A and B are shown apart, each in its own frame.
Chain A
Amino acid sequence: MASLELINIQKTYGATAVLDDVSLRMEPREFVAFLGPSGSGKSTLLRIIAGLETLDSGEVRLEGRPIQQLAPGDRGVAMVFQHYALYPHMTVWENMAFGLRNARMPKDEIASRIAEAARVLEIEEHLDKKPGQMSGGQRQRVAIGRAIVKQPKLFLLDEPLSNLDAALRMRTRLELAQLRHRVDAAVIMVTHDQAEAMTLADRIVVIHDHKIQQAGPPMEIYSRPANSFVARFVGSPAMTLAPVQLLPAESPFASVRLGDGSEVETRVPRSGLPAEGALELGLRPESVRVAPAGAASTVARVELVERLGDRTFVYARLSDGLSITAEDEGNSRVRMGETVGLRIDGTDAHLFAPDGAGYHAAPAA
């Protein structure tokens, strides 16, 4: 049986569409990340699942049961809020017990569930503290603990890492990854941080413009983006998108010419491409390497060099003015203002039709 099913969810605020015909089916124990920019509707979707927001039409099912008419507390979901939303006047223990007491759970059951959650989250020594006496990271754990003790069928995490500093975020990310193997429930996490989504989720659902743009495993989202929005939104630095001209050739794969005249041979099958309209070539930085004059396919003027230690990103401009992002060795000598040779490798290049639809290299047999 599927865990969560969203069927044709529709939501508007007045005349503004927020979610337009959204459908999704989650597997049992699946970890799904809703990834999208601010205002894409991803948080609204999470809140609809939680019951904090009504929907105009459509159906929400959890383990086969329609839940859209139920009160938030009766749905079998638990939520970790962005700002934790702990009850400030209750101790950590009381915060975790509140929902269980309201559900009239026996006292010893409450105590044992809290003890177990506190042990897993290593907050045992803080149980008598109030949230105001704890650090952000500790509060985050309490918020997670409050969700765990309910033993929900579905966890909803609203930007769970966005309030933590960089070091703590990495640690909490690891802990979330471990945690999901301990709980017998599906997880949905809303985030605008693609690194979080890539590292934690079994499946990423990219939401933009009130719709699901693509749903798939992280590597599929990265290597086979369904459209140019997903292509540019996922991956850092962003994919270079260049208007190109399709070249006539015998080969079953498309060859294209960039604005500066250089040609790229892709591994995208020519057969599926639309006959009409201007194409765009999508190049990840790793497909564009800084190369010596002999091996280069084009030249570009360097505008910015970003040294990350193990590799270097070079932001450059081709002779026709196109901005392109290239990759170089960690010890790259490239400097701003220089003109360098670039070798464009078409093996992993993507093509995008005028409507944005993506075309990719045929999967290796």
Chain B
Amino acid sequence: MSIGGRRAQLEGLAFVAPFLLLYAVILIYPLVAGVVISFHRADLFGARTFVGLENYGRLIGDPVFHQALINTFKLTILIVPPLTAITLVLALALNKRSRSAAFFRGLFFSSSVLSVTIVTLIWRFILTPDAGLVAEVLEAVGREPIPFLSDPDLTIPALAVTTVWWSLGLPMMLFLAGLQQIPEEIYEAAALDRAGRWTTFWRVTLPSLRRTMLLVIMLQTAAQLQLFGQAQLLTAGGPSGASRPVVLLIYEMSFARWELGYATAAAEVLFMLVLTVTLIQYMTASRRWEG
């Protein structure tokens, strides 16, 4: 029995070995290697000197990194709450069996299948001050065009709007799935309990969606803290870093300035940040439900 058992164990291991190997090579190794590199002064071509925590020390005093962190937080705060609210409203409006609802579900989801290149191209057509859609409209009513992509106060809102438009699909689908999980009987019970539309929404629908809402907020927070493509393609982080998020800075550190060690240290900080923020969200929400 025990020999057969061990044999069965080995056979089992053989089945999962290819996956484990791949997992180790493409996920665990880079994760560990990243931490190791962050303790070195390293360039892209392999020259490394151990410097301990020097890279992290530099980050603490680096105003460019501070600016990027603040930009990233601003973007996240400008994107996640509106995106959550808009997609919830869309899901509520489109949670019907009609054909038009199906059409609009497809329409609102369609933006999320576009690549970031296309998305930024579309929004450049809309936002650019020379002959962009918004500029044309403003001109028609006799106003000056607004330099969305070059005014330091407007670049981050412009990036946020672009990102919200691009990201509608998945949260909306998650909310729709959540709405369909709510049994019809509960709404009937609420109708018999004299609950009006608002009461039903606040006391029945919204509490039933709180898990979905937490999921949407956590996923989107983690995603937007790592915002990159839109910023690089639409504003290139400019003007003078006013719209440069952390990931864009990491990219520039490693591939423009070849400071791989420094860039990796910044990446580790961002990783811890994403982990901490989402964990705090999760724990706050769970504690409130327990109580």
Chain B hits for A83, CB < 8 A: 183, 185
Q: Is the CB of A81 within 8 A of B185?
A: yes
Alpha-carbon distance between A103 and B195 when the two chains are bound, in angstroms: 9
- Report the minimal beta-carbon distance from A50 to chain B, rounded to whole angstroms: 7
Alpha-carbon distance between A113 and B186 when the two chains are bound, in angstroms: 22
B191 within 8 A of A: yes
Q: Is the CB of B210 within 8 A of A78?
A: no
B204 within 8 A of A: yes
Chain A hits for B191, CB < 8 A: 51-52, 71-73
Alpha-carbon distance between A85 and B185 when the two chains are bound, in angstroms: 6
Alpha-carbon distance between A146 and B186 when the two chains are bound, in angstroms: 13
Given A87-B204, A88-B208, A98-B203, also A103-B194 (CB < 8 A): yes
Contacting residue for B195 out of A73, A78, A86, CB 8 A: A73
- Report the minimal beta-carbon distance from A62 to chain B, rounded to whole angstroms: 14
Contacting residue for B192 out of A82, A89, A90, A99, CB 8 A: A99
Alpha-carbon distance between A78 and B191 when the two chains are bound, in angstroms: 11
Q: Is the CB of B195 within 8 A of A81?
A: no
B1 within 8 A of A: no
- Nearest to A130 among chain B residues (CB) is B289
Chain B hits for A82, CB < 8 A: 185
- Report the minimal beta-carbon distance from B203 to chain A, rounded to whole angstroms: 7
Q: Is the CB of A87 within 8 A of B203?
A: yes
- Report the minimal beta-carbon distance from B204 to chain A, rounded to whole angstroms: 6
CB within 8 Å of A: which B170-194 residues: 183, 185-186, 188-194
Q: Is the CB of A89 within 8 A of B195?
A: no
Chain B hits for A52, CB < 8 A: 188, 191-192
Contacting residue for A85 out of B186, B195, B203, B210, CB 8 A: B186
Chain A hits for B203, CB < 8 A: 87, 90, 98
Query: Interface code A196-228, partner B: CB below 8 Å = 1, 0 otherwise?
Result: 000000000000000000000000000000000
Interface residue ranges, B against A (CB under 8 Å): 183, 185-186, 188-196, 199, 203-204, 207-208, 210, 289
A-B contact pairs, 10 of them (CB 8 A): A71-B194, A73-B195, A85-B185, A87-B186, A88-B208, A89-B208, A89-B289, A98-B203, A99-B192, A102-B195
